[in-house]
Amino acid sequence: MNKFIDWVYNYYQNRKKSIFFLSSFWTIYILFNIGLYTLEIKSYKDLLRVIINYPLWGLFVFVPNIFILKYFLFRRKYIFAILGNILILILFLEIRYLLNFHLFPLLDVMTPYDNKPFVLNVFLSDSGYAFLNNLLLAYGYGFAKHAIELEVRERKLVEANAKLQHQKDMTQIAFLQAQINPHFLYNTLNFIYSEAIMVSDSVAESIMTLSNIMRYTLTETGKDTLVSLYSEINHIKNYLKLQKMRFSNELYLDLTIEGEENINHLEILPLVLISFIENIFKHGDIHDPKNPAKIIMLIEENSLFLSIYNRKNKGPKEHTSGVGMNNIRTRMDILYGDKYNVNIFVDTEDEFALEFTISDMEEAFRNLKKYKLINR
C-alpha cells in the first residue's frame, strides 16, 4: 500500500502541470455546459443531473481516453486502443443505465426516459452519441496537447543541437590544446603496469583499473552521444574498485544492482550515473562501518532506478571532476524530457538521499535519431 501511495505521489509530482491543465479544461467544460443548460433547467434537481453526469463522463471517458491516446494510439498499439475503448464503452453504458433508470428516479430528477419503457436500441443510440462526444473531446484535447509538446520539444532539441555542436567543438579544441595522445597515454600506462606487476600485484591492478577508467572517459564516451548501460555500469565498478584500493579497502559502501541481465540492450547518456556516485566521495562519509553509503540500482526492460544514501562528511570535501548536477539536469532535460526524474528527498546537515529514475530509456535515442544527432 505504501508503494502505491509513493507511486501516486511521485506521479503527481512529475505531472503536476499536465494534471492542472486537464482538470482546468474539464472544469471549464462542465461550467460551459451548465451555462448552456441553464435555460432548460426548471429546478435544482434538474441541475443535479448535469452536475452528476459531466464529472462522471470526465472521469470514466475523457481521462481514460487521454491515456489511451498517449500510450496506445501515439505508439501505434491500435489493438490495445480498441480493446481499451470497448471496456470504457461497456463501463459507460452500465453507469449511464444505473443513473437514468435507478439513481435519477430516486432523486426525482428529470431524464430523457421519464415515463417511457426501456428500449435497448434507443438507449444504445443515445449512449453512443454521448460517448462519441466525450471521445472526440478527449482526442481533440489530446492531439492539441501532443502537437504543442512536439513543438516545444522540437524547439528545445534544435537549441540543444546547437549547444551540443558547440560543446563538441570546444571539447575538440581542448583535446588539441592538451596535446596528449590517448594512445601514448595508454601505452605508457601499460608499460608502467608491466613494470609494476613484478613489484606489487595491487599497484599493477590499480594502474590497470585507472587505465580502463581513462579509456572509457576519453574514448568510449566520445564515439557516440549514447553509450551502452553495460559500459557505464562497468565504469562505475572500476571507479569504486580504484577508490577501495586507494583507501586500502577501508571504504564502506554497499553497491546493489538488480536486473543486470537487462543492461546489454540498453543505452544511456554517458557519465550521468558516475556523477551521482562521485558526489558520495565529494560530500559523503565513507569511512564509518556503522553507516555505510548505499547505492541501489534497479534495471528493468526499459527503465532504470538509482537510489543513493550517504552520511555527510564533516571534514574537508573530496575534489572530483564530475559534470555537476546542473549539467546533468540540462542534458537530461534535452534528451529525456519528462521521462526522467531526480528526487533529492533527504538533504540535512548529516544525511543525503537521492533517487534518479529514467522511465523510458529509449526516449533519448528516439530524439537523437529524429534530429539527426546520432548516426544509427
Cβ-contact 355, 343 below 8 angstroms: yes
User: What are the boundaries of each domain within the chain?
Assistant: 2-152, 251-376
Is pLDDT of 290 > 80?
yes
Cβ-contact 85, 135 below 8 angstroms: yes
Tell me the three cell numbers of residue 198: 613484478
| Structure confidence by residue, pLDDT tens digits, 164-218 | 666 665 555 454 444 445 555 555 666 566 666 666 677 777 777 777 777 777 6
Query: Considering the chain, what is the average pLDDT of its residues?
Result: 78
Is pLDDT of 145 > 50?
yes
| Structure confidence by residue, pLDDT tens digits, 21-71 | 767 777 777 776 666 666 565 566 667 777 788 788 878 888 888 888 888
Q: Which fold has domain 251-376?
A: Heat Shock Protein 90 (3.30.565)
68-90 core/surface letters (b: 16 or more CB in 10 A; e: else): bbeebbeeeeeeebeebbeebbe
| Structure confidence by residue, pLDDT tens digits, 339-358 | 999 898 888 888 999 999 99
Angle at which helices 363-370 and 325-336 pack, to 10 degrees?
70
